Structure 1
Amino acid sequence: MAPDPINHDHDHDHGTPLGLTPEHLADLRRSGLTDATIRENGIRSEHDAVRVREILGGNLSASAARRLGPCLVIPFFDPTGAAVTYRTPTGTTRAFVRLKPSQPRKAANGKPIKYESPRGSGNSAFVPAGSRAAVLDPKQPVMLIEGEKKALAATQYGFTAIAISGTWNWTERRPEDPDTGRKTGPFQLIKDLARIPWRERIVYIAFDSDTAQKPAIQWALYHLAEALTRGGADVRVIALPSGPNGEKVGLDDFLVAHGRKRLLDLIDAAGPAVRPTQVGARKVQHTESGYAVINGYTCRRIRTRATGTGEPSDEFIRLANFHATIDAETVRDDGAERTREFTITIRQGNRVTTASVPVEQFAAMDWVVERFGPRCVIQAGRGTRDHLRCAIQELSGENIRTTTVYGHTGWRHLDGSWYYLHAGGAIGPPGAAVPRLDVRLDGAAEQFLLPVPPQGADLRDAILASLGLLDGLAPDRITIPLVASLYRAALGSPDFALWFIGRTGVQKSELAALAQQHYGAAMTRGQLPANWSSTDNALEGLAFACKDTVMVVDDFAPSQSRSEIDRQHRTAERVIRGQGNHAGRQRMRSDTTLRPPRPPRGLIVATGEDVPRGHSIAARLCVVDVRRGDVNLTGLTRCQEDALAGKYAAAMAGFIAWLSSQYATVSADLGRERVALRNAFVGFGNHARTPDVIANLLIGFRYFLDFAVAHQAIDGDQRTSLWERGMAVVRELGDQLGDHQWEVDPIRNFPLMVRSILSGGRGHVAGMDGRVPLSRITPEFWGWKACDPLATTARGIDSYRSCGDTIGWIDGEELYLNSDTTYAAINELTRDQNQAFPLTQITLCKHLKDEGLLLRYEEGRTRYPMTIGGTRQRVLVVSVSTIYGESGTDRARERVVTVEGP
């Protein structure tokens, strides 16, 4: 920041090196301008009337130009330092300057015209030399000031400043309505201002102190703030105080009188632009319904008759000790429903406060104290709140601006075209004009931020960086599903999740972060958007907002606490099932109507030391095993550097821009492509969803390779080689997914669980007489324990005792299981393993029948009636080989003992 200007030597003589008349120099000194500032900005005096007339483009006669006397010349430059130009009516290009005459002419209303501009030049913005570099940096706050000298003074004190020539000189001309002659349409920034980056930039408007007394200037300030806000700026208004005797004070006057520190105090106190009100204490303007603002209070007019005369008169009843207006209406569109909220400003004395109020809360008026505090008082009385609500709406006028805010990422069809939304706005077809869409994401979703899509060599470099994930980082079985998934996410509507499983320290979270950074460079390993320790609702809400993206949910590692284990498995089951089925939980509004469901709409990439329980959940997962030593740490460092440099996000932005021009066709053909690829892999895995998972991976990989070829990052031969690598991986992956699904299938595991019950002493199988079974398999395999192993052969069946409850009976090669006791033992077994058996007893029996594991059953039922030990039983009839298998039977025979009959 520059220091306060003090004691500058200068020469008052005409013809000084500054090229200024003493009068002009004194004028600049009153604004506190230094020699250096004057020289850097090319300010000079012009004495030649012919030259003055030439500068003004023949706007004046020769005699009128002479009467102006010497003129102070202020040339205009843009932020790059190039002279601002305009085209004359004859087609000549001239530099734009403003002149301040020593003897100004008068306008038709008798007021002096302090500054002259060239004829037909329009409006331009003035950027001081000391502010030009900072103006192009959207991270730098900027002041927007009326008047060039004031902007120069602000720059001297270390502030970035831009000047407009007058309070309304920031807007393009608006068309006139042919019927009414009134100007119509929105206020738009002039081209000089529109070229400046405003998004997410803090902008301070610093008009003169007399703004508070002039409604026309108040409206100019308000509409300027509105136009800047539409461009994404955070606009705040600096209220300059008047002079000691009420004199008008400009920013240059204030800095000369009070210095930088006092201006910083005003900057800290700066607030939002408020909608002007023309209702004051002296002149009461009321609405048709009789509401008005008097001395800052909201009042209601009541017609009465004067005492004595009986003449009608107006009496105003106070409704509230404040004045509130609706400045804006915001429509929030999250892709499922549209909600509305009002931006309301309350004025109470010198206090101006703004807050957002949902539409459904507006009518009750409870938001007044909740949002604005106890000093805002609504008067007592029946119907007062209804009258206040009506007054606020009517006093707000007709110029309430409506803004649509989108609350999700991903594809939206707007105005006949497809656009991809992200935290920074939208991406559309290359070369097309993309509308300025307001996207506001909550919490971690704010990090889903893509750059402007690169082109040419920059885009090829970004694509090669993304392809670098396939070059030495990890085995293809890890990196190809990773790359295929992250590009498949951008195509929309994925119905599977990618799950990296491995012990701690194998770099699985780092791999997931590389995928995530394709959608936002800031989402590093330490800034991933979600974690499995988050609440169910938080994960569901984030997964719904993050549409058509990768969303990493990190660290599925349930603790030893039974409640925490159950919670994380329940959360994972809910989220993954919603991902696979494109379905969310139904919710109800307070009025009992149903809200739209909010299913996950992106592609979840999860990491963990375990996987969620359940066969149907496993079928929705592409599980990738990461082992120690799989990840090349040197390659990981290289990839992380590319990710932090924004190359991955640039590649994804380019991919989305490439897709957008053809997305209507791509989205329509996506289902057909998936079915064609899925049919080629029918039979892979143990679940019908496995070929679907493989097809989705190949679709993502195919589009990425086509994109790389289209932008000459790889050639046809390289594409063929990469595609063959991908096909080899998905074939291997299909087998691995089948093994994983087999391991978690409760029907496939049924024989194993029965064996565990018997071998663990949780139950036993008896012979048809209820005693030790007469079988070719040793009794230990049927849940019997030898009392004296050395005497087993000699004493026969008397040497065994049963363990646990009877779960069934054996007769030759047939096993009759009691479904009640068997199911109870299975539940006890899974409960002791901190799990829950996923099927009910009826469903378990039905699935055993459907899988052909039951030898006999009644028609229309799953169990078979039998009399065992004099008692009528309904049993599940299965083969002994179903429980032990051929190999299990062979191992059992090795320990067969001769059991003599009773």
Structure 2
Amino acid sequence: MELNVPSESDDCNRGSPEPPGGAPDGPEADRLRPNHAAELEASGLSRETTTANNVHSEDDPKVVARLLNWSPARAKALGPVLVYPHYDRGGQPLDHATVKPDRPRARGDKPGKVKYENPRGRPNRLYVPAGARAALADPTAELTITEGCKKALAATQHGFPCVSLPGVWNWVAPREQRGGKRTGRLALNDDLAGVTWTGRRVHIVFDSDAGTNPDVARAERALAGALRRHGADVRVVRLPTEPDGTKNGLDDFLVRHGAGALRELVGHAPASPEKPRTDPAQFTESGYTAVSGNTFHCVLTRDEDTDELTVTKKTKLANFTARIVGETVTDDGAEQTRAFAVAVEQWNKPARTVGVPVDRFGALDWVVERLGPKCVIQAGSGKRDHLRCAIQEMSGDEIPSATVYTHTGWREVEGRWCYLHGAGAIVPGVPTVPVSPRVEVQLDGAASAFRLPEPPTGDARRTAVRASLGLLVGLVPDGVAFPLLATVYRAALGAPDYALWLSGPTGAQKSELAALAQQHYGADMNRGRLPGNWSSTDNALERLAFTVKDAVLVVDDFAPPPSRADADRQHRTAERLIRGQGNSAGRQRMRADGTLRPPKPPRGLVLATGEDVPRGHSITARLGVVAVQRGDVNLARLSECQQNAAAGALASAMAGFVAWLAPRYATVRAELEAERVQLRNRFVGQFPHARTPDIIANLLLGLRYLLRFAEAIRAIDTPERERLWGRGEVAFRSLAEQQGEHQRAADPVARFPEMLGAIITSGRGHIAGTDGKEPGVPPSPEAWGWEVRETRGALGEVRVGSHGRGRKLGWVTDAELYLDPDSTFAALSELAREQGQAYPITQQTLYRRLKESGYAVRTDGDRTTYPITLEGARRRVLVLAPSFLLGKPGQSGHPGRGAANTAQSVPVSRPGFSHAGPEPGQPTGTRAPENTGSVPGVPTVPVSPSGESENSADRALTNDVEVFTP
């Protein structure tokens, strides 16, 4: 739209040079044709007003052509004209005039005539009557703006200083034109912009059709907005239409009703247009709004000229409004998920706030579930999408966000290592405040019981630590007590790669001992409330072991049921959990979109109890198996320890430990692996399985840091620390001995000769001579699975002969034993099935490991078998020594005996080893500062001068084990 074209002239905005000179001035200019004089008089204009403003008639076409910047021929067609000369605010004449022709030309854009003409090619000018100049110069004076010179003269004459525009849009400064459209914000032209508007009361009075003419109404609102931006107090005066429908201009209204009526209209004029502008703040960018507790989508149209918004379509989306008022980032240490706090309101109902996971937010399927059936999303295509967008856009720019941790253990928060637990976090530098306002922890299910108290200080801390060390005093043999307590504190150091298994018959108090360990991490987790049980599902245990980070997690009561299927399931559960613990690995999972989720391995330290031990050589190698027998537990001491645990003493000891560890944890964490390797290397080669030294090293780490802490807070003195360390080392070697027995029992290669012997002695198989008959190899045919039988012939005669029992497994000579690979493995598998198990490895793996162990006498290159002619046929067989099957303890070649066992009884020299180790950050090989003060109150077990524990369970070890003496 061409905004600079006045509503009553189509020539006011065309560009060409200004005409030389202006309208006549002076006494001779006061000449009016009768028709012109009559017109002015009908508008109520006095002769004084017209004379003061030099309003006159003009008949000369040349003068008219000069005024309008037209050609004389074109000007002649207008006939005589009534001229309104323009003057500036100081009264100086401008070379500009508005004329009203007697013969108006036809409009080119719409029906009717052009009543007024303005100079072509010259800027639009403000018409300032002589009587309004003083008010225009006074910033405090009220001013009226109208359209048309005659109306401005009439209002000024009646005491309302008024200026006029040549058209309702002719207040706009020229704008840049792009692509055929004018762009940019509407601004006042130079004449209006030069007026001081700040604080001035301004009345806009257009014709009475402003209320029905949309173009006039838009111009009215746009002008009011522009003046307000310049600081004016703008009031819009709407003239009434006459009862007969006659239109009123400002001059007409004054003639018909007088100045008093206009003054009353001005006094009641509203501060904004009759049709209020749509407030953009009520709508989001996409047109969403909330009205009376309902959510709507409005189609908004922005006026290019006024920059106004108009609602052209309004669609209801829901009978409620919702806004996101908060965001919670849930961090489990492997991945982060988000949930929104959504505040929902309905008309005349209290507001509610519900939590919505991000992955469910967009579908809006949570509305009925969380809000009930009265919250209705309207039917229709796309309305759910619009509602989702509306909730997000109406939520504002600043949505508070909080991080919630869903695991226990160490976590670096804002550059500081903090220990998380169910009640909050223990933060370095804030030892007396367990819950930091910046760290929120949320645990569910069994994990919620992992709650530490406020870390104690002073005597309270020493008392709590003595209660924890009390598990080493008269409760159980050292071979049970030290691994149990060392595991408790090793868990808090982080990243353990072993599990501890308390094995023993029912009634041995295994669960009670495990509960004492567990109650270091939460006083409520007693015997009846242990967090894990082997009857739980695989996924539940795996998730719990992932959540419980850097803490002991007791999984109680491993007792495979008689049903083979149920027993296999429990063994699989144990294998999955223990293998994950030992390998620090979790199962890979996929998201719904096909991408991989991060694995979630066990991150705590599993402490299991059971009447049995999981089968499988590789599983037992990851376990520290502690045997607990009936009668090992001193029940009186057990009751004392349980009272301390229920009172929170053990949990307070752990809270004090992690508070002491927190400020130095970064250093401990960085050096922990090097410490473990250093301790492990002292035991490499001394035990059957390579993982056993790792288990001992981890237990020593737990004991080392417990003793450092206890000495640092003066709960024990240096001599007591050294005695406890010596007892612990003896106990851990005892554990390693037991571990070797469990590993040998689970090793399929070690068990191979035992199972093969059982097959022969039970009559399931036999070994023949190379001719297929009874072997003549010592010790006797019966030893090779043969028996003497009586048979009767056809004539009834009795015959006595040797017969092999069961299937033929192989052949034997004085020098070699030949086993048929397939028959032997089939017999092994049958025996395993009868025992309710499956043979743990495949046939090829078994024979390859026999070869790698050096038990095969002859092999054929890379193959485990060797070709031999037996019973007249060429066969591929396993070639072993006869002593492999019939050997005795100490004989070379007998698996699991002799040389393989002797290394465990060789004393190991450890020169210069400091059992308590350096403090974090202290150079290796130096001793920590010793506390020479003695703190009474910690009962101790006497230690012999040689360093041997007086505990009867450990006395038998002293012949083979060198005990370190500081």
TM-score tier (shorter): 0.5 to 0.7
> Would you say 1:506 and 2:503 are equivalent positions?
no
CA distance change for structure 1 residues 532 and 312 in 2, over 3 Å: closer, same or farther? Answer: closer
The residue that corresponds to 1:651 in the other structure is: 653
Partner Cα separation in structure 2 for residue 703 and residue 304 of structure 1: 72
- Provide the aligned C-alpha RMSD in A: 2.6
> Would you say 1:300 and 2:302 are equivalent positions?
no
The residue that corresponds to 1:728 in the other structure is: 730
What's the CA shift for 1:553?
Answer: 0.3
Tell me whether 349-358 or 666-675 shows the greater mean CA deviation.
349-358
Q: Any conservation in 2 of the 1:425–1:436 contact (CA below 8 Å)?
A: no
Aligned mate of 1:775, from 777, 790, 804: 777
Partner Cα separation in structure 1 for residue 302 and residue 616 of structure 2: 81
Q: If the length of structure 2 is used for normalisation, what is the TM-score?
A: 0.60
Aligned mate of 2:288, from 282, 288, 291: 291
The residue that corresponds to 2:483 in the other structure is: 481
The residue that corresponds to 2:327 in the other structure is: 329
CA distance change for structure 1 residues 682 and 796 in 2, over 3 Å: closer, same or farther? Answer: farther
The residue that corresponds to 1:422 in the other structure is: 421
The residue that corresponds to 1:719 in the other structure is: 721
Query: Tell me, what secondary structure is at the counterpart of 1:643?
Result: helix
The residue that corresponds to 2:681 in the other structure is: 679
Q: Any conservation in 2 of the 1:426–1:436 contact (CA below 8 Å)?
A: no
The residue that corresponds to 1:390 in the other structure is: 389
1:430-829 aligned within 5 A: 430-431=429-430, 434-788=436-790, 799-829=801-831
What's the CA shift for 1:869?
Answer: 2.4
Q: What percent of counterpart residues are identical?
A: 58
1:230-379 aligned within 5 A: 285-303=282-300, 313-349=311-347, 350=349, 352-379=351-378
Amino acid at match of 2:411: R
Q: Deviations over 1:37-83 (max 9, x none)?
A: xxxxxxxxxxxxxxxxxxxxxxxxxxxxxxxxxxxxxxxxxxxxxxx
Query: Tell me, what secondary structure is at the counterpart of 2:686?
Result: coil
Q: Deviations over 1:830-883 (max 9, x none)?
A: 111111211111111111011001011111111112232233321111111011
Q: Any conservation in 2 of the 1:685–1:739 contact (CA below 8 Å)?
A: no
Q: Deviations over 1:16-54 (max 9, x none)?
A: xxxxxxxxxxxxxxxxxxxxxxxxxxxxxxxxxxxxxxx
Q: Any conservation in 1 of the 2:791–2:800 contact (CA below 8 Å)?
A: no
Query: Tell me, what secondary structure is at the counterpart of 1:572?
Result: helix
Amino acid at match of 1:589: R
Query: Tell me, what secondary structure is at the counterpart of 1:661?
Result: helix
What's the CA shift for 1:600?
Answer: 0.6
What's the CA shift for 1:305?
Answer: 12
Partner Cα separation in structure 1 for residue 877 and residue 608 of structure 2: 43
What's the CA shift for 1:288?
Answer: 2.0
Q: Any conservation in 2 of the 1:684–1:735 contact (CA below 8 Å)?
A: no
Q: Any conservation in 1 of the 2:461–2:656 contact (CA below 8 Å)?
A: yes
Partner Cα separation in structure 2 for residue 656 and residue 513 of structure 1: 20
Query: Tell me, what secondary structure is at the counterpart of 2:328?
Result: strand
Partner Cα separation in structure 2 for residue 572 and residue 506 of structure 1: 21
The residue that corresponds to 1:7 in the other structure is: none
Query: Tell me, what secondary structure is at the counterpart of 1:872?
Result: strand
CA distance change for structure 1 residues 633 and 305 in 2, over 3 Å: closer, same or farther? Answer: closer
CA distance change for structure 1 residues 805 and 354 in 2, over 3 Å: closer, same or farther? Answer: farther
The residue that corresponds to 1:12 in the other structure is: none
Q: Deviations over 1:780-838 (max 9, x none)?
A: 33233332499xxxx99952333332221112231111111211111111111111211
What's the CA shift for 1:435?
Answer: 4.9
Query: Tell me, what secondary structure is at the counterpart of 2:887?
Result: helix
Q: Deviations over 1:315-353 (max 9, x none)?
A: 321112222221211111100111111122333342644
Partner Cα separation in structure 1 for residue 481 and residue 311 of structure 2: 83
Amino acid at match of 2:284: T
> Would you say 1:857 and 2:859 are equivalent positions?
yes
CA distance change for structure 1 residues 797 and 620 in 2, over 3 Å: closer, same or farther? Answer: farther
Partner Cα separation in structure 2 for residue 699 and residue 727 of structure 1: 11
Partner Cα separation in structure 2 for residue 621 and residue 694 of structure 1: 11
Q: Any conservation in 2 of the 1:684–1:738 contact (CA below 8 Å)?
A: no
Q: Deviations over 1:105-162 (max 9, x none)?
A: xxxxxxxxxxxxxxxxxxxxxxxxxxxxxxxxxxxxxxxxxxxxxxxxxxxxxxxxxx
The residue that corresponds to 1:116 in the other structure is: none
Partner Cα separation in structure 2 for residue 712 and residue 675 of structure 1: 29
Which structure 1 residue ranges, 5 or more long, are not aligned?
A: 1-281, 891-902
Amino acid at match of 2:321: H
What's the CA shift for 1:714?
Answer: 0.7
Q: Deviations over 1:606-627 (max 9, x none)?
A: 1000000011111111111111
Query: Tell me, what secondary structure is at the counterpart of 1:412?
Result: strand
Q: Any conservation in 2 of the 1:550–1:603 contact (CA below 8 Å)?
A: yes
Partner Cα separation in structure 1 for residue 873 and residue 670 of structure 2: 63
Partner Cα separation in structure 2 for residue 431 and residue 294 of structure 1: 49
Which structure 2 residue ranges, 5 or more long, are not aligned?
A: 1-278, 304-308, 893-966
Tell me whether 374-383 or 400-409 shows the greater mean CA deviation.
374-383
Partner Cα separation in structure 2 for residue 817 and residue 703 of structure 1: 54
Q: Deviations over 1:709-766 (max 9, x none)?
A: 1011111111111111111112222222112211211111110011111122222222
Query: Tell me, what secondary structure is at the counterpart of 2:875?
Result: strand
The residue that corresponds to 1:401 in the other structure is: 400
Q: Any conservation in 2 of the 1:777–1:889 contact (CA below 8 Å)?
A: no
Q: How many residues align?
A: 603
Q: If the length of structure 1 is used for normalisation, what is the TM-score?
A: 0.64
Amino acid at match of 2:343: T
CA distance change for structure 1 residues 313 and 852 in 2, over 3 Å: closer, same or farther? Answer: closer
Q: Any conservation in 2 of the 1:299–1:318 contact (CA below 8 Å)?
A: yes
The residue that corresponds to 2:150 in the other structure is: none
Partner Cα separation in structure 1 for residue 772 and residue 864 of structure 2: 24
Q: Deviations over 1:283-319 (max 9, x none)?
A: 992212111122222110024899xxxx964332111
Q: Any conservation in 1 of the 2:790–2:800 contact (CA below 8 Å)?
A: no
Partner Cα separation in structure 1 for residue 479 and residue 753 of structure 2: 32
Q: Any conservation in 2 of the 1:684–1:734 contact (CA below 8 Å)?
A: no
Query: Tell me, what secondary structure is at the counterpart of 1:747?
Result: helix
Partner Cα separation in structure 1 for residue 539 and residue 486 of structure 2: 28
CA distance change for structure 1 residues 838 and 294 in 2, over 3 Å: closer, same or farther? Answer: same
Q: Any conservation in 1 of the 2:287–2:300 contact (CA below 8 Å)?
A: no
1:144-163 aligned within 5 A: none
Amino acid at match of 2:425: A
CA distance change for structure 1 residues 857 and 866 in 2, over 3 Å: closer, same or farther? Answer: same
Amino acid at match of 1:411: W
Q: Any conservation in 1 of the 2:326–2:399 contact (CA below 8 Å)?
A: yes
What's the CA shift for 1:416?
Answer: 1.4
Query: Tell me, what secondary structure is at the counterpart of 1:787?
Result: strand
Q: Any conservation in 2 of the 1:408–1:439 contact (CA below 8 Å)?
A: yes
Q: Any conservation in 1 of the 2:404–2:441 contact (CA below 8 Å)?
A: yes
Query: Tell me, what secondary structure is at the counterpart of 1:886?
Result: coil
Q: Any conservation in 2 of the 1:512–1:607 contact (CA below 8 Å)?
A: yes
CA distance change for structure 1 residues 284 and 657 in 2, over 3 Å: closer, same or farther? Answer: closer
Q: Any conservation in 1 of the 2:474–2:637 contact (CA below 8 Å)?
A: yes
CA distance change for structure 1 residues 560 and 393 in 2, over 3 Å: closer, same or farther? Answer: same
